[in-house]
Structure formats: structure tokens, C-alpha cells
Amino acid sequence: MNPKQALATFKTFPQIETSRLVLRKIKPSDANDLFSFMSDGETLKNNLMSPHKKIAETDKLIKNLTKQYDRKREIRWGVTIKGSAAIIGTTVFYNMHPMEFQTEVGCVLAKQHWSGGIMTEALAAIITFGFDKMAFNRITSFILPDNIGAIRMVKKVGFREEGLLKECKYSNNRFYDLGVYSLLKKDYIQQPGLS
């Protein structure tokens, strides 16, 4: 598959199912679900995002997600548990460069669902989609050095540490270091249970 063929996946939003989860399009009617964790400072602290103070911020975010998808720049899935329509987190391909065969990946999960393997399952699913349907050769994740849970999660699905970018991110009036983790398609293919 070449990158131009991969862009055909944008004709219809790609819903993904796993054994426990449904990853689906985020709609305006999901605003209350998103606001419940996007307004929580503890949930967002490792994402360097400011908590939403009003639901209007969440409404604006959802509109922006739709624009980014329509422009083929980003795919952000709402993470739901099968049997429930409530979104409990998001996972995303952003800074996508299909013609260069690469993307970045990120995620947010409501704190009450941490440590249950939910985001590991969601991440593994979108990685498979990215390599099989989007023709990516490289998927990168940038993580705060003290975010041990996220580091453990990406390593669990095969990412390897590449190094540390010193003071490369400016947020909340300070600079942050970010660890660089990546997964290449050739390494993904060799992993039992992921490909």
C-alpha cells in the first residue's frame, strides 16, 4: 500500500474494535464525557495540557478534531468499553506525514481507568491500523521522563527508547524534556501478538 492509497481511509472514519473496546469517532454529543476527564488536572498532568474550565472548551476541541480529520492531519479516536457508549479516553495519530510514512501517537485516559490495561489495548489496536492501513513505517511517542506508566505502556507494545530531547517542549511557563520512543514496522511485524 502506498501513502496515497492510505489516505483513502479518510473517506469513512475508521472504527476499531478489540476484545474489550470500541475506538470510534468523537461526536458533539460526547462533550460531557470528554469534559469529565479533560477538566481533571491529574488526568492531564503528563500530557502538558491545561484542564478545561468550561464545557465550551470541550465543544471547541471536538470541532477542531473534526477539522483536523477532514484535513487528513489527525485521527483521534474516542475510547469506549464495549457495551457502553461513554468515552473514557482518547488515542490519536497526529503530526501525520503519510508521504514520509510516519506519525506521532498520543493518548489520554480518565484516571479512574488507569492500570487496567485499557490504553495498552487501544494503543496496540491503532498501531496495527497504522501499519496495516495507513502505510506508516515509523510511529513515534514523546513522553515526559517521569511518566513511568506511559513509558511502561509503550514498551509493552514494542516501542524502543531513542533518547531524550532536552527542554524541547514549552508549556505552563517552563521548558520540559521529552523522551523519544519509536516503533518501526519491521520490528512490529516480528512481535508475536501485535501483528
Condensed to tens digits (0 to 9), the pLDDT of residues 42-78 reads: 999 888 888 999 999 999 999 999 999 998 899 999 9
Condensed to tens digits (0 to 9), the pLDDT of residues 102-114 reads: 999 999 999 999 9
Model confidence, pTM: 0.92
* DSSP character string of 51-65: PPSSHHHHHHHHHHH
